[in-house]
Amino acid sequence: MKITGSQIVIECLVEQGVDTVFGYPGGAILNIYDELYKNENRIRHILTAHEQGASHAADGYARATGKVGVCMATSGPGATNLVTGIATAYMDSVPLVAITCNVGKSLLGKDSFQEIDITGVTMPITKHNFIVMDVKDLAQTIREAFAIARSGRPGPVLIDIPKDVTAAVTEFEPLKNPSDVDMLISRHKNIKRAVTLSEPDEGQLKMAAELINGAKRPVIYAGGGVKISGAEKELLAFAEKADIPVSESLMARDCFPSLHPLCTWMVGMHGTKASNMAITESDLVIAIGARFSDRVYGDSSKFAQHAKVLHIDIDPAEINKNISTDGCVVGDVKQVLAALLPMINAVKHDEWISQVQEWKKEYPSCYDKNPKDSINPKFICECINRIAGEDTFITTEVGQHQMWTAQFYPFSKPRTFITSGGLGTMGYGTGAAIGIQLAKPERRVVHIAGDGSFRMNCNELATISHYNLPIVIVVENNNALGNVRMWQRLFYGKRFSQTTLDFGPDWVKLADAYGIKGYRATNAKEFEKVFAEAFKSGKAAIIDARVDKDEMVLPMVPGGKPIYNMIMELSKEMMD
């Protein structure tokens, strides 16, 4: 049958199992939006307040479900407004397809109204991108884009379609054999990151097993790849059989039960003493689905100096990129751990585990559990967990509140902590919460934000209100860009340049403007009361939770220092 390019877009999205897209219309993409109108019974479109919100919502949808998230935007500024969201997905290996429409082919390259070379702009931050100049290539391009986005190490793919291509007519044949598409993606030589998968190499597995069985003080460094591959059960079985403590990157905080005796929580700049010291004193670091971020290793020359390093990752480009390894297994983490499990010995490392448990007891003493005129961040996490339960999704923006959540929230189930890791995108969490809530309407989302980050994309309150999404937003309000202020206190002579946010808005009044219930809490008792009320109402709510502007995120490793060089508490001189 002969159909238009816009109809092909719809048919291919349906083929790929897409039920929800996030976007914002404009002139160049009008043909596709006309087809979305005609097919609203097949694909749900969510209109966000801003294209960046659409990209973050698609990202959150993907992280919560494991499916490919989809966002759309028009040409020019519409397309460039997606860039931050695409980069966020790229850094955290999130499967995303962004569809943009450009000016007509005859207008390309002429600085036409709302023209932008969006494939050129996004080349460094996509796994691959396309501009479709012939409608005959459109269906195959869309199919390949989805295959690339979800295969191997996932990531974002962008498809740019000139407006006249969306109007052109061609013959369309429904997809018959999905595997044909997976075979065809290998023809694209410039795809970044791993695409195709193969069985783990037997030689690599044997060497890995020998390293693990020979270790006396092993430690696991789990990364976001555990979650992406769905290997949480395999990780648990692996750690328990070999009696190995598990430290986690920010992206893996929900990959291993927080209250499990072997869990040492987060590692790195704001990691626990147990995690940082376990890696420092170990004789084998087993990195699983992790990319050795600079926030994890600090001074690379002094990272795990007494240890051999075994790296398990799907992407061979990550091996020896930041930290030199003594062994590796390239492959899907779930498959690799399943293959390794029968090869490793069931042992006990009693002396080593006892030492790790001693480190776990050492925690900062500077947290006031009962401040009179503010709320302790640890209490906020404990209170939310107690009332909302373990099935609730927790999202964050980026900053102190994000680190407090990672440090204090006792995650126990996979894919319940969703945050921007690699790019550190302030303004990410509100859009992500929208995508998650729409993907999982039977569950609840609590969004923990800082006042600095939340103001960046609080326009998405319009989306939350319009679609009646029961998201509870907790704004940890310290009237400051808290993380930057903390660095200014410690390293810039307390010169608080442009980090004071004492000029509004009033979050309760803003909530009311969007038709959302607003609350304010200035102490622990008030917070517990209003959060319980907000959560149990089953409706959207904002809680302005007052946190002291000088509350710190500790432990802290100064930038570029060894991860054992931790600031555990502040001196009087630092606080005065």
Could you give the C-alpha distances from 471 to 237, 238, 241, 500, 542, in angstroms and in order? 34, 36, 39, 28, 9
Task: Tell me the CA distances in angstroms from 359 to 259, 552, 570, one per residue in order.
Answer: 15, 21, 19
Residues forming a β-bridge with 162: 102
The pLDDT profile of the chain, 576 residues, written as one tens digit per residue, is 899 999 999 999 999 999 999 999 999 999 999 999 999 999 999 999 999 999 999 999 999 999 999 999 999 999 999 999 999 999 999 999 999 999 999 999 999 999 999 999 999 999 999 999 999 999 999 999 999 999 999 999 999 999 999 999 999 999 887 766 666 676 666 787 766 667 899 999 999 999 999 999 999 999 999 999 999 999 999 999 999 999 999 999 999 999 999 999 999 999 999 999 999 999 999 999 999 999 999 999 999 999 999 999 999 999 999 999 999 999 999 999 999 999 999 999 999 999 999 999 887 644 555 666 889 999 999 999 999 999 999 999 999 999 999 999 999 999 999 999 999 999 999 999 999 999 999 999 999 999 999 999 999 999 999 999 999 999 999 999 999 999 999 999 999 999 999 998 999 999 999 999 999 999 999 999 999 999 999 999 999 999 999 899 999 999 999 999 999 887 766 666
CA–CA distance, 276 with 278 (Å, rounded to integer):
6
pLDDT value of residue 367: 57
Secondary structure element (H or E) that encloses residue 128, with its range = strand 128-131
| Predicted local confidence at residue 68, as pLDDT | 98
Q: What is the pLDDT of residue 362?
A: 81
Specify the pTM. Answer: 0.96
Q: Spell out the domains of the chain, with CATH numbers in brackets.
A: 2-187 (3.40.50.970), 202-361 (3.40.50.1220), 377-553 (3.40.50.970)
d(CA 543, CA 521): 7
